[in-house]
Chain A
Amino acid sequence: MNGAVSRVLPVLAVLGAIVVLWYAGSVALNARLTLVTAERQGVELTLAQVVADTMVQDRPRLPAPHQVAVALWDGIVGEPPLSKRSLVYHGLMTLQSTATGFLMGVLVGILLAVGVVYSRVMDLSVMPWAVISQTIPIVALAPMIVVLSNSLGLGEAVGVENRLVSKTLIAAYLSFFPVLVGMVTGLRSPDAMQTDLLRTYSATGAQAFWTLRLPASVPYLFASLKVAVAAALVGAIVGELPTGAVEGLGARMLVASQFGQPLLMWASLFASAILAGGLILAVGGIERVALRRMGARE
């Protein structure tokens, strides 16, 4: 009990500080509009009135936390979940390509890592290009992926919308890299003594892989998966921006910024943060179960 309190307290303290700063920021940034409006109407405002007005504007520069909370609440429970105005609907759209892209990226990352560990040629050729691939700004690359997957008709080929394909590819593109790096380290983690031990049993390379290298890499894999799942979400959202902005949290943010709806923008932003947190918690939960079954210390 005491342990839980001492862990939660610092988090709450930081959260409290952020909220306080945020309110201060809202007042400071929104006060100008309040004052300009009041002057135009020829009204004199007290300080309290100014502060109160900064928190109820329709199009504030920086919405107050409670305004965002209300917008978020309305977006999540105020609409039927499958309505196009519901953040749940758009969250699900984003989650779909995040999850598909994440799984693809994990698969590609693991396969490449196995290749890199077992083939010197792949070690020399794949790793540098994998590193270079991650230095290209994704916002620059995303539109090209969209255009290419559209003109190649990748979507029709697998029976889904083209828009979905490009989002998924971008999510996979961002998530394969941490998995690759983590798995290469993990597959190489067994020391000489452990590989010697298997040699004394005349174990084959495949047996060494399944009994030693793969299980030894699992803790490294999970560390990478948490990074990869967050990267996949970023990829999916970025992928939604240049796709004509129809569905998904990224599309919601784009619409909101184009049509001057800061409350919606902030609500979508928080919805994606909540989604990211949920995904990382889910991966963490799977990790705990898996590692416990593999005898990890509590």
Chain B
Amino acid sequence: MAGGIAVMPDVRVATDAVIDARGVSLTFATADGPVHALKDVDLSIGRGEFVSFIGPSGCGKTTFLRCVAALETPTAGVLRVNGMDPDAARRARAYGYVFQAAGLYPWRTIARNIALPLEIMGFPKAEQDARVARVLKLVELEAFGGKFPWQLSGGMQQRASIARALAFDADILLMDEPFGALDEIVRDRLNEEVLALWGRTGKTILFVTHSIPEAVYLSTKIVVMSPRPGRITDVIDSPLPRERPLDIRDSREFLEIAHRVREGLRAGHAYEV
């Protein structure tokens, strides 16, 4: 094993676990028989961690995120979010969800888009305005609150959708390939910004990605998954410091972790198409 990388063979049973999954499985019944989207997933995520889920299509990384969000219900196992079942956690506003597409309402201005969850959750108008102003500043879109989504670039739209997920102060940020549709340059920039945001807010972030460099650059923990059935093949605790300039990606440590991720994917037959 490469030096400096801690191996995590067993599931940590932390008392401060924000996400705690034990034997979580999800089987979809389809016309072609059952599909095992998730099988026996054990995972514990502590407060303030940045966890990336990486793996090929069909490995269940998005499904796991959706289970945490109570958008899907596991067919077996126990899943706890902030010590609650996912449904209760959602009602307690435990998480904000960022989808692959920004999904801003075209008929609302950026500010009104960010206010959408606040309206639905019944925040008073004055507090809505204050919160919108605060998160707009957080994602550096102060000047764009009055613009409509089509007037913003794709990267800016995705930043607005992150602001929307942050507006109601959830502790957990669930991000499902949020930068998958953006070009490499914009993506690098947003990766830096997400790291900075994570540093400032101390949120727990679950981040689904296809990209090895993105996963290694961002995470304190990398969960490598493989398909058929969707399962975890490796969990890597990153030794990289929390402060990460972009050029850390040329360091030996970085390349070693990336190598181990690739090995994990290979072991899970991820490269066999």
Please indicate the chain B residues that have their CB under 8 angstroms from the CB of A296 in the complex.
Answer: 106
Report Cα–Cα, A215/B104, bound state, in Å: 13
The stretch from A31-39, A83-91, A192-200, A252-260 touching chain B is A192-200
Task: Indicate whether A193 sits within 8 Å of B103 (C-beta atoms), given known contacts A199-B71, A203-B120, A211-B119.
Answer: yes
User: Given A202, A207, A218, which contacts B107 in the complex, CB threshold below 8 Å?
Assistant: A218
A295 interface residue (CB < 8 Å to B) = yes
Interface residues on B, range: 20 to 34
Q: Taking chain A's interface residues, is the majority helix, strand, or loop, or is none over half, making it mixed?
A: helix
Task: Indicate whether A198 sits within 8 Å of B107 (C-beta atoms), given known contacts A193-B99, A193-B101, A295-B148.
Answer: no
Please indicate the chain B residues that have their CB under 8 angstroms from the CB of A202 in the complex.
Answer: 90-91, 120-121
Report Cα–Cα, A294/B107, bound state, in Å: 4
A7 interface residue (CB < 8 Å to B) = no
A208 nearest CB neighbor, chain B only: B120
Residue pair B105, A212 in contact (C-beta under 8 Å): yes
The winner among B90, B107, B109, B116 for most chain A CB atoms within 10 A is B107
Residue pair A215, B71 in contact (C-beta under 8 Å): no
Residue pair B99, A215 in contact (C-beta under 8 Å): no
Interface string of B85-122 (1 = CB under 8 A from A): 00000110001110111010111110000001101110
Interface string of A124-135 (1 = CB under 8 A from B): 000000000000
User: Given B117, B148, B150, which contacts A201 in the complex, CB threshold below 8 Å?
Assistant: B117
The distance from the CB of B268 to the nearest CB of chain A, in whole angstroms, is: 27
Task: Indicate whether A201 sits within 8 Å of B107 (C-beta atoms), given known contacts A196-B99, A295-B150.
Answer: no
Residue pair B109, A200 in contact (C-beta under 8 Å): no
From 106 to 163 in chain B, residues with beta carbon under 8 angstroms from any chain A beta carbon are 106-109, 116-117, 119-121, 148-150
Residue pair B107, A295 in contact (C-beta under 8 Å): yes
Residue pair A215, B95 in contact (C-beta under 8 Å): no
Task: Indicate whether A197 sits within 8 Å of B99 (C-beta atoms), given known contacts A202-B90, A211-B120, A295-B148.
Answer: yes
From 198 to 227 in chain A, residues with beta carbon under 8 angstroms from any chain B beta carbon are 198-203, 207, 211-212, 215-216, 218
The distance from the CB of B206 to the nearest CB of chain A, in whole angstroms, is: 13
Report Cα–Cα, A271/B119, bound state, in Å: 49
B66 nearest CB neighbor, chain A only: A196
Number of chain A residues whose Cβ lies closer than 8 Å to a Cβ of chain B: 20
Please indicate the chain A residues that have their CB under 8 angstroms from the CB of B71 in the complex.
Answer: 196, 199-200
Residue pair A197, B97 in contact (C-beta under 8 Å): yes
Please indicate the chain B residues that have their CB under 8 angstroms from the CB of A216 in the complex.
Answer: 105, 107
Report Cα–Cα, A208/B118, bound state, in Å: 14
The distance from the CB of A203 to the nearest CB of chain B, in whole angstroms, is: 5
A297 interface residue (CB < 8 Å to B) = yes
Where the two chains meet, the residues of A that have a C-beta atom closer than 8 Å to any C-beta of B are: 193-194, 196-203, 207, 211-212, 215-216, 218, 294-297
10 more A-B residue pairs beyond the given contacts A197-B99, A215-B107, A294-B107, with a C-beta to C-beta distance below 8 A: A193-B99, A193-B103, A196-B99, A200-B69, A200-B95, A202-B91, A211-B116, A295-B109, A296-B106, A297-B150
